[in-house]
Amino acid sequence: MDKLLEILEDLNPDVDYKIEKKLIDDGIIDSFDVISLVADIDDEFGVSISADELVPENFNSIEAIWQLIEKHKAN
């Protein structure tokens, strides 16, 4: 999860991703950030996230993003 934290901090270093639970809902990261994040996740973890998974619930917190990555790594 440390690498994911680094990726997120590259997007916006002013956010405490360890406590924030509404990254999308509060507008902390936007759709452009999500696209960049998805590309970085693919590059770093070899995980392809489908368009139907691009929903706020999957990107509102570092834990939700990590669960999405783990789900794909298990397949």
- Going residue by residue through the chain (75 aa), what tens digit of pLDDT does each one get? 999 999 999 999 999 999 999 999 999 999 999 999 999 999 999 999 999 999 999 999 999 999 999 999 887
10, two tokens: 């590259």
Q: How many domains does the chain have?
A: 1
Distance between CA atoms of 18 and 35, rounded to whole angstroms?
A: 21
- The three state secondary structure string of the chain is CHHHHHHHHHHCCCCCCCCCCCCCCCCCCCHHHHHHHHHHHHHHHCCCCCHHHCCHHHHCCHHHHHHHHHHHHHC
Owning domain of residue 39 = 2-74
Q: What is the CATH number of the domain that holds 19?
A: 1.10.1200.10
* Cα–chain center distance at 5: 9
